[in-house]
Every structure is written in structure tokens, then in C-alpha cells.
Copies of this chain bind each other. A is one copy, B any other.
Amino acid sequence: MRRLPSPQRPRALAPIARVPGLDYGVLEELLGYKLRRAQVAMFAAFHEATRGLDMTPPRFTALVVIGANPGMSQTNLGAVLGIARSGAMLLTDWFEGRGLVERRTHPQDKRAWGLHLTRKGEALLAKMRARVLELDLRRTKHLSTAEREDLLRLLEKLAG
């Protein structure tokens, strides 16, 4: 059982500004660059919305999923995030070092841990969830409700 809280601090990532007077060529018609620009902008907004909470998108995702699936394994956590098991373990260490997540013995499997939010973790998640939901809506306030639904649906298709 490791306990290695590393002092990682997420850095601000600014949105990618369009360079005036520059020809973006075929990039304008391709999803890739637009997708990345949108993601970077969302990341910057996320970072600002969670200021002071020492959070990153993967950490937020992890807390949400652990909260929704108490007792889940580290392997599954890695799968949700799309990272290797070793990375999921480091992340869990980070959470445990801050008292946000607990490793309890898994009832059916002695190899695995069951991950659970602590009371502190739940409180932090609640606060973050509120802030991130607000951010998400604010970020898409230029979009109509129908457009927002469209976007979510289309992205789902793309990721599928």
C-alpha cells in the first residue's frame, strides 16, 4: 500500500487564439483541429472554474465515476480514463494521500481494491460538480438547448 502524494499542481492552459492574417488552409474543413481547439478552450474554462481545488479533468472524471460506482477497481478506473493500470494506481495514490478516496478490501476479489469516496471526497465532488455544471452551461450559453443536445449527440457518434 503506497502513500505517495506528489505535489503536482495543474498549470493554466490558455485557449489557442487565432493568429490574424494567417491562412489555416485545409484545417478549416477538418474536425481534428477544431476538436482540439474546443477541447483546449474547455480545459481552460474548467481550470478556472475549479480554481484552488487542485483539479484536472482526469481527476474530476475519476471522482465522478468512483462516486457513482462505489467499490470499483483501479483497473476499471484506468479503463474509464483511457490510461494504463499503473497510471490509475498513481492517481489513486494521489487521492488517498489527500484523503479523498479510500482503498477498501474487495469482497469477492483479494487481488483488487474497492475504491470509495471518503466523506471529504464526496464534499469536494459536490462542490466541483456544481462549479463544472455551471461552467459547462456558461460555456455553451451561446448555444440553444437544441444545439447543445445536437453537439452532445454528434460527439457521442464521433467517439463511438
A contacts, CB < 8 Å to B: 14-17, 19, 22-27, 29-43, 46, 57, 60-61, 64-65, 67-69, 72, 76, 79-82, 129, 132-133, 136, 139-140, 142-143, 147, 150-152, 154-160
Q: In the assembly, how many copies of this chain are there? A: 2
A65–B24 touching, CB < 8 Å: yes
Given A31-B152, A76-B19, A155-B37: A133 and B68 interface contact (C-beta under 8 Å): no
> What distance in Å separates the Cβ of A142 from its nearest Cβ neighbour in chain B?
6
Which of the residues B25, B76, B133 comes within 8 Å of A64, measured between beta carbons? B25
Query: Do most interface residues of chain A lie in helix, strand or loop, or is the interface mixed?
Result: helix
Which residues of chain B are within 8 angstroms of A150 by Cβ–Cβ distance?
Answer: 147, 150, 154
Which of the residues B22, B24, B64, B160 comes within 8 Å of A27, measured between beta carbons? B64
Closest B residue, CB atoms, query A17 = B79
Which residues of chain B are within 8 angstroms of A26 by Cβ–Cβ distance?
Answer: 64, 129, 133
